[in-house]
Amino acid sequence: MNNENIKIIGKEILSDNWYTLNKITFEYLKQDGTREIQNREAYDRGNGATILLYNKANQTVILTRQFRLPTYINGNDSGLLIETCAGLLDKDNPEVAIKRETEEETGYQIRDVKKVFEAYMSPGSVTEMLYFFVAEYSKDMKVSEGGGHHEEQENIEVLELPFAEALKMMKTGEIKDGKTIMLLQYAQINGLMS
């Protein structure tokens, strides 16, 4: 944290239940040279990684479907969200973490992953940096049914969909997850299926 225009004055933990919600008080040097005190809340859940598994020969992708409470309370009738496989880094480097998450969630043990970009997904309130990957998969890489860890209360359904159908699902609103849309669009723009 090297921004000379920002001086952290205080930090208060508001919640440390699931992840950590902090209230930060800071002094901000404005462009006109005056200083003002501001307060913001920031949710810290650690950094994560996500991946689009694709099969060029079959023109398919692997996605997941699981219940997401925030979408449910915001009007998503079922609360089920179709997503790319993702998870927290848990102190691993992004490549190691995404290989682990891929096997846990989808049952595919992938060998080669390619990092395509990284992005903050909700920088106004969440500290998380998300690392985006793509990888080719084939049937011989399937080592389990996936579905996530029971002790983490993950009830993940693994979906193998035609790539063209996944693109249509973005337009119809069946796919509403930001990271998933970004990776599907990356695949389309960069011709991964060509």
Domain chopping of the chain, boundaries: 6-44, 48-189
Note the pLDDT of residue 153. 56
Distance CA 66, CA 78 (A): 10
Question: Per-residue confidence at 166, pLDDT binned at 50, 70, 90?
Answer: very high
What confidence category does residue 118 fall into, taking pLDDT thresholds of 50, 70 and 90? very high
- pLDDT value at position 150? 57
For residue 94, what is the DSSP state?
A: H
| Count of CB atoms situated within 10 Å of the CB of 188 | 16
Distance CA 93, CA 131 (A): 10
> What architecture does CATH give domain 48-189?
Alpha-Beta Complex (3.90)
Q: Residue 152: its pLDDT value, please?
A: 58
Instruction: Name which of 117, 110, 119 is nearest 133 in CA terms.
Output: 117
pLDDT above 70 (res 110)? yes
pTM for this structure? 0.91
Give the DSSP per-residue string, 35-87: EEEEEEEEEE---EEEEEEEETTTTEEEEEEEE-HHHHHTT-SS-EEEE-EEE
Nearest to 58 by CA among 171, 162, 187, 141: 162
